[in-house]
Amino acid sequence: MRKSIFYLVLFLVIFSSCVTPRIHNALVAENESIKSDLTDYEMKVLKLQSENEEILVQIKKLQLDITSLKNDSTQNGKALTVLNNKYNALSESYDLLTSKNSRDMAEKAKETKLLLDQLEQAQTSLFAKEDELSKLSLSLESKEKELKSAQEMLELRSNRVSELESIIDKKDSIVTSLKKSISKALIGLEGEGLTIEQRNGKVYISLEEALLFASGKFEVNNKGVATLNKLATALSTQNELEILVEGHTDSIPLNGKGLIKDNWDLSVMRATNVVKVLTKDSNLDPLKLTAAGRAEFVPISSNKTAEGRSANRRIEMILSPNLDDLFKLLEE
């Protein structure tokens, strides 16, 4: 470029020596213009060179970047491979887990269905138990009412039992007192054909035949009258007694042709005469006395011996407290 400008200037100098002043001026002006343009070109060349250097720097930087990127690409490729391997492993694990979860879910579904079936059965059973409980509750309520009624009835009966026990205690007290009074009135006769016993709430007085009658007779003798009068005196103070007088014989039959034909007649007549003696000169109420004959059918000893037959020939007096109050209470 510089050589071209030099030759051009040389040409102009040589040419100017051969041209007119006008042409010379024109050529000078043109030369100046060319110089100016040359300066501009040089500036542009410098600028281009500077830009070229910058571009070279950028190219080197780009080459470095490319090299770095290549290195990064290699590393990233390796990392990508690792990541791909991990991805594949995770994918396989996921598939395994998915398969396992599917199996587990199927098993859980079966277990859930079984539990639901059991729950339904339990609910059905619970409803049945609730119905049964409701019925039992109603039954219990009914039983409670029955129990309350029974308790009230029991209380009433308990009160009645208490009243009965009070009456019985009173009667027992009367019987005990009566036995003592009779024993006192007939003192000296016990063991001599007279026995006095207290049992079953009653007083039993047994008088052997020898204390009252001659053998085979039904009339009360003087000794017997005295004994019965003492007894009547002791009994006259008791207003609530029922007195049963029984005649008893042994088993030897009677063949009488008169008033007494057999042991029945003898036992009845003896009991009747004892009642007559008891009520003749005393305050005993005849309505409270009863005479009865038992013949030989209620022995207290064997009729095979003389002693036994003697014991069986007797008058028994059974003294019973008046139990009207007790019977009234029982009828309520």
- The whole-number pLDDT of residue 330 equals 53
Beta strands 194-199 and 202-208 are antiparallel
User: Can you tell me the mean pLDDT for 134-148?
Assistant: 87
- The whole-number pLDDT of residue 99 equals 80
Q: How confident is the model at residue 263 (pLDDT cuts 50, 70, 90)?
A: very high
CA-nearest of 269, 208, 282 to 241 is 282
Is the pLDDT at 201 greater than 80? The verdict is yes
- The whole-number pLDDT of residue 1 equals 59
Is the pLDDT at 217 greater than 50? The verdict is yes
Structure tokens at 16: 């100017």
Q: Mean pLDDT, the chain, as a whole number? A: 83
Q: How confident is the model at residue 6 (pLDDT cuts 50, 70, 90)?
A: low
Q: What residues does each domain of the chain span? A: 178-331
Is the pLDDT at 15 greater than 80? The verdict is no
- The whole-number pLDDT of residue 286 equals 92
Q: How confident is the model at residue 326 (pLDDT cuts 50, 70, 90)?
A: very low
Contact 308, 262 (CB under 8 A): no
Structure tokens at 107: 């098993």
pLDDT of 79-126, one tens digit each? Answer: 768 877 887 887 788 788 778 777 877 887 888 888 888 888 888 888
By CB atoms closer than 10 A (0-12, 13-18, 19+), residue 20 is exposed
Between 76 and 324, where is the model more confident?
76
CATH of domain 178-331: 3.30.1330.60
- The whole-number pLDDT of residue 243 equals 93
User: Can you tell me the mean pLDDT for 175-193?
Assistant: 77
Q: From CA 131, how far away is CA 314, in angstroms rounded? A: 75
Q: Is 99 helix (H, G, I), strand (E, B) or coil?
A: helix
Contact 248, 296 (CB under 8 A): yes
Query: Taking the CB of residue 130, how many other CB atoms lie within 10 A of it?
Result: 10
Least confident of 7-21, 116-130, 159-173: 7-21
Query: Taking the CB of residue 203, how many other CB atoms lie within 10 A of it?
Result: 27
Between 64 and 326, where is the model more confident?
64
pLDDT of 225-245, one tens digit each? Answer: 999 999 998 888 877 789 999
Is the pLDDT at 266 greater than 90? The verdict is yes
Least confident of 132-136, 229-233, 314-318: 132-136
Q: If you average pLDDT over each of 184-188, 199-203, 252-256, 326-330, which comes out highest?
A: 199-203
DSSP annotation of 296? T
